[in-house]
Structures are given as C-alpha cells and as structure tokens.
Amino acid sequence: MAVKLSARQQAMLAALETFPAKFAMIHRLIEEMASPHVDVSVQRRLTRTLDEMKIGAQSVGQVGLADALGALATLGRRTGGIQTRARGLREGFTGLKINFEGAVKAASKPEAVAEVVGDLPAVL
C-alpha cells in the first residue's frame, strides 16, 4: 500500500529537495573561506545562500532547520580570525546536515489519521 502524505508534508519535501545541491555549494564556499586569500564576495555568497535556505525552511515550518541555518549565516558574517570562523562553519555545517536528515525523516513519515470511535477519538 502506498504511503499518503499530507499536502503540508508534500510541500515540506518539495522545499527540502532543493537543499542537497546547495549543501555541496556551501561546503565548497566554507573551504574557500578557510584559504588565506579569501575574497569578501565568497563570504557574501555564503551568507546569501544560507539566508535563502533559512527563509525556505521557515516557510514550510522547519523551525529547527531554520535556526541552524540562521546561526551559520550569522557566523559567516562575523569578522575575526579566518581559521576560527572556518572551524565554526564546518562544525555548524555538520549540525545542519543532521538537522536536515531529521527534517526529511519527519516529513516523510505519514501523519496519524484520527478516527472517532464512539465518544472517544482513536488514532490509527
């Protein structure tokens, strides 16, 4: 029997499907920022991408994922030591991928269907 997802879950999965391609770009940009000859445009591109993904996650109700993206974007904007920022971005990116996997798993799991049996609702 095929698994039926609600419209909200289908919208979540559609929004989350765009993230893996952006993850590859984010990883590349973080590694570029770790180099000693980093350009400000790389930093701006990284933070712009993270902010776009944050808005996408917020629009489908993935608050935890949006918070992780927002924290990474804030860290990307900060000034300071290149190596310190690169390490923080790498660690935050690992946490972001874990949050993403949880969000996809939650969106893929069918919601419980409530059915009224007598006077009490029963969850199937």
Could you give all domains of the chain from N- to C-terminal order, each with its CATH number? 7-123 (1.20.58)
The answer to whether 57 and 23 have CB atoms below 8 angstroms apart is no
Query: Sign of the C-alpha dihedral, residues 92, 68, 32, 79?
Result: negative
The answer to whether 109 and 101 have CB atoms below 8 angstroms apart is no
For the entire predicted model, the pTM comes to 0.81
Name the pLDDT band for 36 (thresholds 50, 70, 90).
confident
Name the pLDDT band for 117 (thresholds 50, 70, 90).
low
Highest mean pLDDT among 1-15, 48-62, 73-87: 48-62
